[in-house]
Structure 1
């Protein structure tokens, strides 16, 4: 039977780890479990997701990759067993996009949807950091105020008419609304929720194993490992970057330069490699409303009757303080800034001799030559 699984994220729930591990083990998964992970390169899944939503991702839709989705679709159509699509940008698909995708997948006997979901206490700091890595300037408290004000699409909730600027969060993280949209198209019995474990030391119960259980894939033959990447900034590092963003807005620097210099070098090569502390966390007051929101969202998911791999209790948020990092001091931020600048100086390529310096040097040479020539003539 032909079955297509669509993994829709959510973002910041271990998706990169899952996708990288699936891609590296795709040949083993095909041989051992009959699972096809289509595409010629791993980025094909990204291009397929953005081309499904050209209105939402206009800047990323590249005509050069217009043939990517038709190629992936043909690969899955030719495969008689299970196939998997995976990208977190499917989380932003609206009903019209979902309908288009299902029409393209009409060759399959069944289409199932998988959502990986993590508790709000970990998601909120993680998403705020991700926003900061992409030129956003909101403080953590401003970000949380926006999240609280605009809220998820829960029964009885109406966003205020003038709630201020909405920081990016619920569009990607409102799993109640997102799951409802997909369930309306494929049926709740074909929607799978994979919860991110709160503990990482339980044998046989990692996010990887919970995910593979949905696909009915034995993890044992998938032996190719992936590197463990630490992508979390400390509270002081995040605040340094946030303040730096105030000087590096789109009017100040083009995205390509920001992406390569700030994301690639400052973050990827310097901040991630530097000794760091815990990331920014929630205060006791913030935990109160976050826990209440989490409880309401869990109740909605439980009532919907989706299949769960893991435990919905993993999504609960404790109302008690959990040793969350407080705001950094200015000295902490200054230390990070100076350490980062020092690493830039140590590792930056030596600059070429500038035109002014060359001109000055040549002028000195010319003056010496004129003096020597004049002296010879006088003799």
Structure 2
């Protein structure tokens, strides 16, 4: 039977780790479990997701990659068993986009959807950091205030209409609305929620194993590991970057330069490699409303009848602050700024030196001027 699973994220739920591990083990997965992870390169899944939503991801839609989706589709059509698509940008697909994708997959006997979901207490600081890495300027408290005001699609919630700027969060983290949109297209019985564990010391119950359980794939057969990469900034590092963003807005710095210099070098090669502390955490007051929101969202998932791999209790938020990092001091941020500047100086290419003849000529001119000035003063 031909079955296609569409992993839609959510972003910041371990998706990059899962995708990297799936890609490296794709040949083993095909031989051992009949799972096809299609594509010629791993980025094919990204291009398929953005070309599904061209108006949403206009800056990333490149005509040179327009054939990536037809190629993935052809590979899945030729495979008689289980296929998997995976990219977190599917989380922002509208019902119209979803209908288009499901129609393209109509060759399959069944289409299933997988959403990896993590608790709000970990998601909120993580998403705020990701926003900061993409030229956003809002403080953590401003970000949380926006999240609180705008809210998820829960019964009785009315979104504000005052025109205030909404910080990016619910558009790709409101798993109540996102799951409902996909369930309308494939049926709630074919929607799978994989919860990100709160504990990492339980054998046989990590995110990778919970995810493969949905696909009926044996983890033991997929033996190629992936490196564990640090992708979190300390509270001081994030605040340094946020303040730096005030001087690096899109009107002043093109995205291509920001992506290469700030994301690639400053963040990827310097901040991630530096000794750092804990990221920003939540206050007790913030935890109160976040925990209440999480409880309501968990209730909606439970009543919707989706299949769950893991434990919905992993999505609950404790109302007690426990070791959450406090806002950094001015000195903390200054130390990060100076350390970062020092590292950039160490690796920066040396400035080009002019021709030696030009340097010698300028030195001769300077000596003649000094002598002439000395003669005039002696007179």
Matched position secondary structure for 1:50: helix
Unaligned residue ranges in structure 2 (runs of 5+): 369-379
Alignment of 1:355-374 (within 5 A): 359=358, 361-364=360-363
Matched position secondary structure for 1:259: helix
Seen in structure 2, the aligned counterparts of structure 1 residues 285 and 348 have a Cα distance that, compared at 3 Å, is same
Alignment of 1:1-379 (within 5 A): 1-162=1-162, 164-353=164-353, 359=358, 361-364=360-363
Deviations 1:61-85 (A, max 9, x none): 0000000000000000000000000
Equivalences, count: 368
Matched position secondary structure for 1:112: strand
Seen in structure 2, the aligned counterparts of structure 1 residues 118 and 359 have a Cα distance that, compared at 3 Å, is same
Partner Cα distance (2:75, 2:364) in 1: 69
Partner Cα distance (2:361, 2:255) in 1: 38
RMSD, matched Cα: 1.5
Deviation at 1:363, TM superposition (A): 3.2
Deviation at 1:347, TM superposition (A): 1.3
The residue that corresponds to 1:375 in the other structure is none
Deviation at 1:362, TM superposition (A): 3.3
Matched position secondary structure for 1:103: helix
Partner Cα distance (1:354, 1:18) in 2: 51
Unaligned residue ranges in structure 1 (runs of 5+): 370-379
Partner Cα distance (1:141, 1:353) in 2: 48
Partner Cα distance (2:205, 2:364) in 1: 74
* TM-score (normalizing by structure 1): 0.95
Deviation at 1:360, TM superposition (A): 5.1
Matched position secondary structure for 1:220: helix
Deviations 1:208-253 (A, max 9, x none): 0000000000000100000000100000000000000000001111
Deviation at 1:349, TM superposition (A): 1.6
Deviation at 1:367, TM superposition (A): 8.3
Partner Cα distance (2:366, 2:72) in 1: 69
The answer on whether the counterparts of 1:150 and 1:163 sit within 8 Å (CA) in structure 2 is no
Structure 1 runs of 4+ off > 3 angstroms? 357-369
The residue that corresponds to 1:373 in the other structure is none
